[in-house]
Amino acid sequence: MYAVRFGLEKFNITPKFEIISIITLYAQWIREGKLPVNSDWNKDLKIKFTLQDPCQLVRKSFGDPIADDLRFVLKSVVGEENFIDMWPRKSNNYCCGGGGGFLQATGFADQRREYGKRKHNQIMETGAAYCITPCHNCHSQVHDLSEFYKGGYHAVHLWTFIALSLGILGPNEREYLGDDLRDFGL
């Protein structure tokens, strides 16, 4: 989405359509009752979650309103009482260190991990078992940081927990879930 927005701007193209994030649509659909998620599955489990604010989505594109939508969606899915926000957060959150995919694609693993140590520490301070990452570059980086620094937290895409809350997460979509949820709802 960021690449499309940037390309249109760079080449001075005015689109005949509105560019919005799927996150905005998730939040809208949940508010309208069209996406009937709920957090009942986590009432007894009380698994704690935090959220990575992707640079391309939040800081470089839509700002705090999209960060608010992210939090609304996640809290709707896991329970407000099970969400622990990082500090700083939203537009002030730290970059994960993945560089929009650049560092992952170019082989600078040592530099990427050193830069990402701040993000790792930030996640660890929350005590959350899961870090929700709506961006695939953030997911790759945060997953690697947890493994490299032995953080023990799981990096999982937002959609995984939307599907889990809807009872439609298939057995082949659980690769990044921990042992606590790998077989949940099957």
Per-residue pLDDT of the chain (186 residues; tens, 9 = 90+): 777 888 898 999 998 988 899 999 999 999 999 999 999 999 999 999 999 999 888 988 889 999 999 999 999 999 999 999 999 999 999 999 877 667 667 778 898 899 999 999 999 999 999 999 998 889 999 999 999 999 999 999 999 999 999 999 999 999 999 999 999 887
Domain encompassing residue 71: 2-173
pLDDT of residue 2: 74
Using an 8 Å Cβ cutoff, are 97 and 137 in contact? no
Residue 162 resides in a domain: yes
Residue 123 resides in a domain: yes
pLDDT of residue 19: 86
pTM, two decimals, is: 0.91
Residue 31 resides in a domain: yes
Half-sphere exposure of 174 (CA within 13 A, CB side): 16
Using an 8 Å Cβ cutoff, are 75 and 83 in contact? yes
- Distance CA(19)–CA(76), nearest Å, equals 24
Residue 179 resides in a domain: no
pLDDT of residue 99: 75
Residue 184 resides in a domain: no
pLDDT of residue 105: 74
pLDDT of residue 85: 98
pLDDT of residue 6: 81
Using an 8 Å Cβ cutoff, are 123 and 131 in contact? yes
Residue 1, token pair as written in the block: 């989405």
Residue 12 resides in a domain: yes
Structural domains of the chain, count: 1
Cα dihedral sign for 155, 179, 38, 173?
Answer: positive
Residue 168 resides in a domain: yes
Residue 164 resides in a domain: yes
Alpha helices in the chain (DSSP H): 2-10, 22-32, 64-78, 102-106, 109-126, 136-148, 158-166
